[in-house]
Amino acid sequence: MSFATPWVLALLPVVLALALYPRFARERTKPAGMRYSDNILTQVEGRSVRLTLRPFLPALRWIAVALVVVSAARPQLSEAREIISGEGVDISLALDISGSMGALDFEPQNRLEAATDVIADFIDQRKYDRIGLVVFASEAFI
């Protein structure tokens, strides 16, 4: 794997430093004592999912920021490229998909299945051409 702009990855240590700074800054200050006048307010009978997951939110935010930095570096999978020296033409095919194409003229296939087989064979033989398909019944669908 390679990166189109690898210099952007130099921001990852900055993201890590910003993520860890509040933790170290908090350890230097002395936490306050009891904030409530009665202990009954601090006793929780059942914790909700939201309260359970709340301590993980800052970490998830910083992971998201780190992933944005990595995506800004534009990771790319390098694949071998093949230069094709051929010329092609633009071809547009029209295919009728109306109810009459359901007739069983080509046993055991109907007209539509036979037409799609012929079109598939035609496309396989045209390697360098660009092919478009227009299907129509009572109206054309591009």
Pick the range with the lowest mean pLDDT from 1-5, 34-38, 130-134.
Answer: 34-38
* Predicted confidence (pLDDT) per residue in 13-30, tens digit: 888 888 888 777 766 666
Q: Is the pLDDT of residue 5 over 80?
A: yes
Confidence grade of residue 55 (pLDDT, cut at 50, 70, 90): confident
- pTM for this entry: 0.43
Instruction: Decide if 87 contacts 128 (C-beta within 8 A).
Output: yes
Residue 93: name the closest of 127, 67, 123, 70 by CA. 123
Which residue is listed with tokens 């860890």? 20
Domain extent listing, the chain: 2-76, 90-141
Which 3 state secondary structure label does DSSP give 110? Answer: coil
What angle is formed at CA 55 by the lines to CA 49 and CA 56, rounded to 5 degrees? 85
- Tell me what percent of the residues of the chain surpass a pLDDT of 70: 82
DSSP-derived secondary structure letter, 33: S
- Tell me what percent of the residues of the chain surpass a pLDDT of 90: 16
Tokens representing residue 37 in the block: 């006048």
Instruction: Decide if 93 contacts 116 (C-beta within 8 A).
Output: no
Pick the range with the lowest mean pLDDT from 68-72, 82-86, 87-91, 135-139.
Answer: 82-86
Pick the range with the lowest mean pLDDT from 26-40, 41-55, 69-83, 111-125.
Answer: 26-40
